[in-house]
Chain A
Amino acid sequence: EVQLVQSGAEVKQPGESLQISCKVSGYNFFRYWIGWVRQMPGKGLEWMGIIYPGDSDTRYSPSFQGQVTISADKSISTAYLQWSSLRASDTAMYYCARDPGWGDGFDYWGQGTLVSVSS
């Protein structure tokens, strides 16, 4: 059974760093793209970026380039989304999702990680 299990909710202050995770099971982590999607409170879905763990090919939305870092650890089948300095505007639900092949859409999704940033 394919599963994407995300790390738990986070409450942070502006300026702090953060890394959230997405641990996958049930398939070969190396062979599928993993993307990250932001959903701000009451708003729509925004594609942030994507990584192919097999060769670490990583692509970012222009809106998020330089604002976050996407990475993957093949040894533990886990993808990460990282911030070096959070802002209040980063408050959102973040989802990871699997793309079985470039262009195939995102067929499995994590449960989401709620990040709250407030002073």
Chain B
Amino acid sequence: QSALTQPASVSGSPGQSITISCTGTSSDVGGYNYVSWYQQHPGKAPKLMIYKVTDRPSGVSDRFSGSKSGNTASLTISGLQAEDEADYYCLSYTVSGTVIFGGGTKLTVL
């Protein structure tokens, strides 16, 4: 069970938008609308940002949005802010009844 594929790093300037991709297979990302995204700052526990592909938990900024096409899910952050600099991970539930993370993406706000 290999990790979902994410770019190792992305960057953007304050105010810009960035998109992080998460590619899996028809047995995970493509199989269900059960993709979630997590933000992790150094030394902190992960925080849920998006669940079920597009839903945002209460309290999460609407600058964060999710989407999916086929076997690839995406997280878009609009109006980048310095506080968005963190590691981001996607997660998918699988048709075999397990869960798998992406390899993680380091977001740098220039």
A residues bordering B, Cβ < 8 Å? 35, 37, 44-47, 50, 59-63, 95, 97, 102-107, 109-112
In the complex, residue of chain B having the shortest beta-carbon distance to the beta carbon of A61: B98
**Are B3 and A44 in contact, with the CB atoms below 8 A?**
yes
In the complex, residue of chain A having the shortest beta-carbon distance to the beta carbon of B2: A63
**Are B38 and A45 in contact, with the CB atoms below 8 A?**
yes
Report the minimal beta-carbon distance from B27 to chain A, rounded to whole angstroms.
Answer: 13
Q: Known: A44-B103, A45-B104, A105-B36. Is A95-B46 also a contact (CB below 8 A)?
A: yes
What 0/1 readout, one digit per residue, does chain B (79-110) give for beta carbons within 8 Å of chain A? Answer: 00000000101010100011111111000000
4 more contacts with CB within 8 A, not counting A35-B99, A44-B87, A103-B33, are: A47-B100, A105-B36, A105-B91, A106-B91
User: Which B44-102 residues have C-beta < 8 A from chain A?
Assistant: 45-48, 50-52, 57, 87, 89, 91, 93, 97-102
**Are B46 and A109 in contact, with the CB atoms below 8 A?**
yes
Interface of A is mostly: loop
Number of residue pairs spanning A and B whose beta carbons lie under 8 angstroms apart:
70
Report the minimal beta-carbon distance from B101 to chain A, rounded to whole angstroms.
Answer: 5
**Are A105 and B52 in contact, with the CB atoms below 8 A?**
yes
Report the minimal beta-carbon distance from A70 to chain B, rounded to whole angstroms.
Answer: 13
**Are B1 and A63 in contact, with the CB atoms below 8 A?**
yes
In the complex, residue of chain B having the shortest beta-carbon distance to the beta carbon of A96: B45
